[in-house]
Structure 1
């Protein structure tokens, strides 16, 4: 075993020029997909929102498509790149393109909080700005793959195109599932009930609605009495 060469965990291993600040930033941008996967799992577990689960399912389907395309096309990465694996299309570009486009479509067309749950009269404008910011961020990740010489411009553009296509297709599929009652049917299943799955984020701003419920509950509490005082009285 002493002669066995050491391996590197390629999932988070990124080559960059330590003397170049842009290269250093690009190396951090390369970790965005991993960070988003952690965010997906955290939000799904914490919120139990079916929309988040659907979005993640589409994201994994997009990754599966990238895996298949790379092994069909079999185009090598740039020669100055030290990594392994095929480069067409760019998986990073495809990942962030799907994420930005699907979430942007959700924010603009599907997320319609009722006036009582909307914290600002410019709520739609804020959602549009967020959608644009998502696309800018995705573009930065895509460009970083070219800057670090992990992909050619053609490979990155192909990845972006595949990601956008997956996002549009999956958004239409989920819209079909919603309009034909399949989401409601799935939420009525015993498994969904046990997992406490719900579908509130479409019609509610979860942060604002949660804060309003907390504020209403807080106002009902007697003033000048702490929760510890209330517990003491109950114990007596």
Structure 2
């Protein structure tokens, strides 16, 4: 009988011929027993949590500004990959085949600083005119922006502490993230935002239920009050239509 096994199947039968390559996208190593290193390892996963949050917001809110913000993070990552392959600077510590990609600039630092500075601009410029006299609103802004900046510092320090990057690689990554966040916010705020009202009228945007909430001061409060009013109206309507016992 003719052997029809594929080369891949034969390779799996002989494990000595296989070179295993791990998917190290979310794999973070830290010194065993080092609690601070373990903390930094957990915090280094923050970009993946932020990315998951973006996807969730886009699926459930369908807001154009959220889409453009997320698209900016993707462009930022592409820029980081291009710079790494142009500079070709190695990481400070190589662990076999796990982390053989380049380290300059740090992608983690570039990502978190892009995200934090964009959030800072959003609250300082886009929302500067909303509820300025509200102490609670101002406090929430300080907490959100401060948390983002602290997260960026922790992730950046952790990349050096865990020997994934040199200090220079993290600093350069952070600077590039800040610069690109400034550029991208200007593009979104000055160029793309005025086009949002026209974009949401496109057939594709209507099919995907993409919306523009730029002119709504407080989207959460607007959605809350609108939903409550609609629920009350429907409740009164059902009470009227309900047959008397």
Alignment-derived partner of residue 185 in structure 1: 198
Q: 40-49 vs 10-19, which deviates more?
A: 10-19
The alpha carbon displacement at 1:178 in A equals: 4.5
CA 1:233–1:16: 2 relative to 1, 3 Å: same
Verify the 8 A CA contact 1:90 1:151 in the aligned structure 2: yes
* 1:196 and 2:209 correspond: yes
Among 111, 125, 132, the alignment partner of 1:95 is 111
Residues paired across the two proteins, number: 228
Q: Map of 1:24-173 to 2, 5 A cutoff?
A: 24-79=38-93, 83-111=99-127, 120-173=134-187
Alignment-derived partner of residue 233 in structure 1: 242
* 1:208 and 2:224 correspond: no
Verify the 8 A CA contact 1:26 1:144 in the aligned structure 2: yes
Alpha-carbon displacement from aligned partner over 1:166-202 (angstroms, at most 9, x marks no partner): 10000001122256x3222222211111111112156
The alpha carbon displacement at 1:211 in A equals: 2.0
Verify the 8 A CA contact 1:111 1:201 in the aligned structure 2: no
The alpha carbon displacement at 1:160 in A equals: 0.3
Structure 1 stretches of 4+ with a deviation exceeding 6 A read: none
Give TM-score scaled by structure 1 length.
Answer: 0.85
Q: 53-62 vs 214-223, which deviates more?
A: 214-223
Alpha-carbon displacement from aligned partner over 1:81-106 (angstroms, at most 9, x marks no partner): 55220000000000111111111211
The alpha carbon displacement at 1:68 in A equals: 0.3
Q: Which runs of 5+ in 2 are unaligned?
A: 1-11
SS at match of 2:177: helix
CA 1:73–1:189: 2 relative to 1, 3 Å: same
Verify the 8 A CA contact 1:112 1:202 in the aligned structure 2: no
Q: Which runs of 5+ in 1 are unaligned?
A: none
Give TM-score scaled by structure 2 length.
Answer: 0.82
CA distance in 2, matches of 1:214, 1:120: 24
The alpha carbon displacement at 1:14 in A equals: 1.0
CA 1:206–1:11: 2 relative to 1, 3 Å: same
CA distance in 2, matches of 1:148, 1:104: 28
Verify the 8 A CA contact 2:84 2:102 in the aligned structure 1: yes
Verify the 8 A CA contact 1:81 1:149 in the aligned structure 2: no
The alpha carbon displacement at 1:51 in A equals: 0.5
CA RMSD of aligned residues (A): 2.8
